[in-house]
Amino acid sequence: MTVCGLGPNSLDSLAHGEPPKYSQFCPAPEPKDDDWRRGLPSAHGLETANIEDLMRAARAGALGKLHSVLVVKDGVLVVEEYFHGASRDHCQLIASVTKSLVSILVGMSLERSLEWTVDTPLVDFFPQYADAMAQDGKSAITLANALTMTAGLDWDEYTYPHPDDRNPNTQMYKKADPKGFILGRKLIHPPGETWTYNSGLSVILGATVRRMTGRSIDKFAEAELFEPLGIDRYHWFKHADGTVYSNGDLLLTPRDLAKIGLLVLNQGEWQGRRIVSQSWIAESTRRYTTTRNEFGYGYQWRLGTVVRGERRFGIIFGSGTGGQKMFIVPDLKMVVVITAQVFGNSAGDVAALRVLADYLIPAALPTRPQPQVARPDATFLEAAIGNYVDPKSGHTVRVIREDTTLFAKPSSHPKLPVGPDELIEFTPSAPRRFHGYWSQAGNIVVDFNLDAAGTVIGLTANVLLADRAYQKTDQVSLPSVE
């Protein structure tokens, strides 16, 4: 297998948080058939106008610093577009999307062994760290806790984002023994109870693959996953002691990343060949806990929802900083890969979510006239106005009324700045459901929540693939609604 070529300054640019140039990573290959069938979007049920709108927005820079958008529908590559100097011939740092690939590789390793299960304590994989794991009750941490990021270790990647030296993920790269550093962290929550984003656990998962298979995770991936899928160009960064950075330092071409997505969509099969068991795909993409952004979380997979009309679409996805995304939409038989500038791209994450939610899912839905929905009565409108707060994030929304129309004014958010006069108009689509458009987050769907007495007690906003629950701070009773 040929790995991606690396320029002499690639590691330095990554370490200093600078966006590396594509040419540093992968020289253009000879043209080859990589097993993708090609087709037109319209031949697979995608509305061409939506795709054209997406491309115009991307080229105009309205969707952040995108590098690629690929769509696989019904197993056929129907959209493949590159931007800002990127092309199909270059590898991309996929950042923490790597974690979702690690989940697949852990499952494949478990299937090859009778000794290990997800309930095996981590200490059994790393007897050399038994003393450190015996402290604070850490011996109770299982492989499943690592997969779901519920190990309970002291690990904060948000207060001081990478590459700040106060971030434990940054510190890990500089330790002589990264695994010992991770497993030596203090236990601050009982294992299994609290989700905490922890890239160190993903490094530990990569090391469990070596323990289970006798091969480092990059070599195991090369032989058991990449080769069967025809992936022959990649690079995976390693620590000086040989530890593979399975937390996010993998480079792949967008086309090859789409193969991983299609493998998951096909429940572990690739072109009729079983690569990973159907049961592991189901187990690993099930919701076990909730992230700080209200996504569901499985075994290194995020789980989201998009509401369009009366339909809800479950989304399985891998997510990386700067807008690296691999989306699987089972109900639409669709895989979407988005890559973007990794560093210095603070809006990339939101932009990538909007590509899926505001352009591609609507493109896959049949066009039909929307039913007329009567305006809510004055009693409901009066009861709906007031202040709503998300108790987890502290984010607030004020709902106001002008005649027979409701508007919302959200408070500022670190990723979603709000203009001083910005209002979101709510258009009714069902008796208690409204849709609107937020300039910073795209389309939103809001359901007002009533208790048994008919009192408006809150609202649920489906925005950027997550259902976010807000509690109303002032409540008014309503007549019952049939």
Task: Report the distance separating Cα 230 and Cα 415, nearest Å.
Answer: 38
Backbone dihedral angles phi then psi of residue 40, each to the nearest 5 degrees? -85, 145
Q: Structure tokens of 393?
A: 């994030």
Phi-psi region of 181 (alpha: psi -120 to 50; beta: other; left: phi over 0): alpha
Please, which residues have CB within 8 angstroms of residue 414's CB and are 6 or more apart in sequence? Answer: none
Reported pTM: 0.92
CA distance 259 to 165: 36
Going from the C-alpha of 262 to that of each of 231, 386, 418, the distances in angstroms are: 13, 45, 37
Average pLDDT over residues 237-259: 97
H helix or E strand, kind and range, residue 255: helix 254-265
Task: For residue 120, give the DSSP letter.
Answer: S
Question: Can you tell me the mean pLDDT for 180-184?
Answer: 97
Q: Which of 78, 173, 180, 177 is nearest to 127 (CA)?
A: 180
Over residues 139-165, the mean pLDDT reads 96
DSSP class of residue 325 equals E
Q: Would you state the pLDDT for residue 89?
A: 86
Q: Find tokens 């490094």 and name the residue.
A: 203
pLDDT at residue 358, rounded to an integer: 96
- Please name the helix (run of DSSP H) or strand (run of DSSP E) that holds residue 461, with its range, or none: strand 456-463
Query: Token digits for 107?
Result: 């499952």
Q: Which long-range contacts (CB under 8 A, 24 or more apart) does 282-286 make?
A: 283/107, 284/103, 284/104, 284/107, 284/147, 285/316
Which residue, among 326, 346, 238, has the nearest Cα to 285 in the 3D structure?
Answer: 326
| Cβ atoms of 422 and 435 closer than 8 Å | no
Q: What is the full DSSP assignment across 220-261?
A: HHIIIIIHHHT----EE-B-TTS-B-TTT-EEE-HHHHHHHH
Q: Of 418 and 229, which is predicted with more confidence?
A: 229
pLDDT band at 33 (very low <50, low <70, confident <90, very high): low
Cβ-in-10-Å burial (0-12, 13-18, 19+) of 423 comes to middle
Provide mean pLDDT across the span 61-78. Answer: 96
Give pLDDT, residue 251.
97
Which of 435, 423, 428 has the alpha carbon at shortest distance from 397?
A: 423
Q: What mean pLDDT comes out for the span 196-220? A: 98
> How many Cα atoms are found within 13 Å in the side-chain-facing hemisphere of 221?
27
Q: Is residue 121 a contact partner of residue 130, using CB atoms and an 8 Å limit? A: no
Q: Is the pLDDT of residue 454 over 90?
A: no
Give the confidence band of 200 by pLDDT, cuts at 50, 70, 90.
Answer: very high
Q: Which of 454, 378, 351, 360 is nearest to 51 (CA)?
A: 360
Nearest to 84 by CA among 102, 100, 68: 68
Q: What is the pLDDT of residue 9?
A: 39
Q: How confident is the model at residue 1 (pLDDT cuts 50, 70, 90)?
A: low
Intra-chain end-to-end CA distance of the chain, in Å: 63
- Distance in angstroms (rounded) separating the CA atoms of residues 337 and 320: 12
| Percent of the residues in the chain that have a pLDDT greater than 70, as a whole number | 89
Q: Is residue 171 scored above 70 in pLDDT? A: yes
The yes-or-no verdict on residue 421 having pLDDT over 90 is no
The more confidently predicted of residues 472 and 32 is 472
Pairing of strands 289-290, 296-297: antiparallel
Identify whether 254 is preceded by a cis peptide bond (ω within 30 of 0): no
- Mean pLDDT confidence for 366-379: 76
- Assess whether pLDDT exceeds 60 at residue 210: yes
Per-residue model confidence (pLDDT) at position 32: 52
Question: So what's the pLDDT on residue 163?
Answer: 87
pLDDT digits (tens, 9 = 90+) for 334-358: 999 999 999 889 899 999 999 999 9
The arithmetic mean of pLDDT across residues 124-132, rounded, is 96
Q: Across residues 446-467, what is the average pLDDT?
A: 94
| C-alpha distances in Å from residue 288, one per residue of 149, 249, 318 | 10, 25, 16
Q: What is the pLDDT of residue 430?
A: 86
Residue 258 falls in which region: left (phi positive, over 0), alpha (psi -120 to 50) or beta: alpha
Tokens found for residue 65: 């610093």
Residue 373 has pLDDT above 90, yes or no: no
**How large is the average pLDDT for residues 317-341?**
97
- Band (439; pLDDT cuts 50, 70, 90): confident
Q: What's the whole-number mean pLDDT along residues 153-170?
A: 94
Domains of the chain and CATH, by start: 32-368 (3.40.710.10), 378-472 (2.40.128.50)
Mean pLDDT of 113-118: 94
pLDDT tens digit string along 2-19? 556 444 334 444 443 444
Question: Do 124 and 320 form a contact (C-beta atoms < 8 A)?
Answer: no
Q: Which of 226-240, 315-329, 391-405 has the lowest mean pLDDT?
A: 391-405
Q: What is the pLDDT of residues 83-109, one digit of tens each?
A: 999 999 889 999 999 999 999 999 999
* pLDDT (mean) for 262-275: 97
**What is the per-residue pLDDT for 10?**
45
Alpha-carbon distances of 397 from 151, 323, 377, 386, 468, rounded to whole Å? 33, 26, 22, 8, 12
pLDDT class of 31 with cuts at 50, 70, 90:
very low
Residue 317 predicted with pLDDT over 50: yes
Is the model's pLDDT at 166 over the cut of 90?
Answer: yes
Whole-angstrom distance, CA of residue 162 vs CA of residue 95: 12
- State the average pLDDT for the chain: 90
Element (H, E) at 37: none
Tokens of 334: 């669709």
pLDDT at 262: 98
